Chain A
Amino acid sequence: MLKLKNISKSYKGFALADISLEINKGDYFVLLGNSGSGKSLLLELIAGLINANSGEIHLNNKNITNSKIQKRNIGLVFQDYALFPHLTVRNNLLFPIRKNKNKAEKAIKIAELLNITNLLERFPEKLSGGEAQRVALGRTLITNPEILLLDEPLSSLDVQLRGGLRHLLKKINRQGQTIVHVTHDYDEAIALASRVAVIDNGKIIQVGDTESVFKNPSSEFIANFIGLKNFFKSVLHTNNGKSFVLINNSTKICLLSDKKDGEGFVMIRSEDIFVYDKYTESSALNNFEGIIRDAVPSRLGIEISVETPLIFWVLITKESFERMNLGEGKKVWISFKASAVKFLKT
Chain B
Amino acid sequence: MKQSLFNNITLLFSGLIILFIVGPLLSMFISTSGIDLFETAKDTDVQDSIFLTLKVSFITTFVFAFFAIPFSYFLARYEFPLKKIVQGIIDLPVVIPHSAAGIAILGFISRDSTLGKFSGLFSFDIVGSPLAIGIAMAFVSVPFLINSARDGFANVSVRLEKAAYTLGASQIRTFFTISIPLAWKNILSGFIMMFARGMSEFGAVIIVAYHPMVTPVLIYEYFGAYGLKYARPVSVIFVTVSLVFFVLLRSISDRKKNVEA
Contacts and interface: CB of A to CB of B under 8 A. Distances in A.
B170 A70 contact: yes
Give the residue among B163, B164, B165, B177 with the most A Cβ atoms within 10 A. B163
B169 A95 contact: yes
A74 B169 contact: no
B4 interface: no
A47 interface: yes
Contact of A143 (B157, B167, B181, B259): B167
A84 B164 CA distance: 9
A82 B169 contact: no
Contact of A82 (B160, B177, B182, B259): B160
A75 B169 CA distance: 12
A70 B163 contact: no
A78 B261 contact: no
B168 A96 contact: yes
Interface in B157-207: 157, 159-160, 162-170, 177-178, 181-182
B164 A95 contact: yes
B53 to A, nearest CB: 34
Contacts of B260: 85
B42 interface: no
A78 B167 contact: no
The dominant DSSP class at the B interface is: helix
Nearest to A68: B165
B166 to A, nearest CB: 5
A95 B166 CA distance: 11
Contacts of A80: 159
Contacts, number: 53
A315 B157 CA distance: 49
Please tell me the size bucket of the interface on B. 20 to 34
Contacts of A70: 165-166, 168-170
Nearest to B182: A86
B257 interface: yes
Interface in B237-261: 257, 259-261
Given A69-B162, A84-B178, A85-B182, A140 B257 contact: no
B182 A95 contact: no
A153 to B, nearest CB: 14
Given A78-B159, A78-B163, A143 B257 contact: no
B167 to A, nearest CB: 4
6 contacts: A49-B166, A70-B168, A74-B166, A75-B167, A78-B163, A84-B160
Nearest 7 A/B pairs, CB to CB: A82-B163, A69-B165, A96-B167, A86-B259, A76-B166, A86-B181, A82-B159
Interface of A: 47-49, 69-70, 74-76, 78, 80, 82, 84-86, 95-96, 139-140, 143
Given A70-B170, A82-B157, A84-B160, 11 more contacts: A49-B162, A69-B162, A70-B168, A76-B166, A84-B163, A85-B259, A95-B177, A96-B168, A96-B169, A139-B167, A143-B168
